[in-house]
Amino acid sequence: MNNPAVLEQLISALRCLPGVGPKSSTRMAYHLLQRDREGAQKLAASLQQALDKLAHCDYCNNFSEHSACSLCQDSQRDKSILCVVEMPTDLMMLENTRSYQGQYFVLMGKLSPMDGIGPKDIHLDTLLKRAQDPAIHEVIVATNFTSEGEATAHYIGQMLKSRGIQVSRIARGLPMGGEIEYVDSGTLSTALLERKAVT
């Protein structure tokens, strides 16, 4: 091996990125050092800043620079309804429909026993506390219609209903196996409007 140690360290560090193996981490390192040092500098700084400044909103669990994110601090929004999504991207997709004005809770994942991801890993204890806020009158579960998303919805439904909390699931307006991130606004909007109470 004739690469300098700091180059080997960079190649190995790039492998923390999902989907990046030894060949592509090597190609990435050469590209950055050879053709885009400015981009590399920006990336190093952005990573450090994100690590230093980003935590989770105490209310919705989304990434936030403050203990309450701007959405949770928005007094214009409906405080009586809470929509549960898997990822921040899903929240943004729902916001883009402009058909929902309530609160959110971002699980930052989904139940996935195969990957060792259980109820604690998706912050269901925090969700339960949040859902028990007397201001909340309904929880809409908007996890994906994949098998893991459905299992997560079922688990959350049972957990909340057993505490007497009203829970609904967005309508299956999405195609089977569909993911919220990839669906058009109209379909998503219908799915929200046609939500059904969990029985």
Question: Which residues of the shown chain bind Zn ion in the complex (CB under 5 A)?
Answer: 57, 59-60, 69, 72
Pattern of binders to its own copies over 91-120, x per CB under 8 A?
xx--x------------xx-----------
Nearer of residues 44 and 193 to its own copies, judged by Cβ: 44
Where do the H-state alpha helices sit in the chain? 5-13, 22-35, 37-53, 70-73, 88-97, 124-131, 147-161, 185-193
Query: Given CA atoms 177, 172, 104, 118 in this order, what sign does their dihedral have?
Result: negative
Candidate segments 76-84, 90-98, 150-158, 172-180, binder of its own copies by CB under 8 A: 90-98
Query: Given CA atoms 59, 168, 165, 162 in this order, what sign does their dihedral have?
Result: negative
Candidate segments 46-54, 129-137, 142-150, 189-197, binder of its own copies by CB under 8 A: 46-54
Query: Given CA atoms 53, 92, 67, 77 in this order, what sign does their dihedral have?
Result: positive
The residue ranges that bind its own copies (CB under 8 A) are 1-7, 9-10, 12-14, 16-19, 24, 26-34, 36-37, 39-51, 53-54, 62-65, 69-71, 87-89, 91-92, 95, 108-109
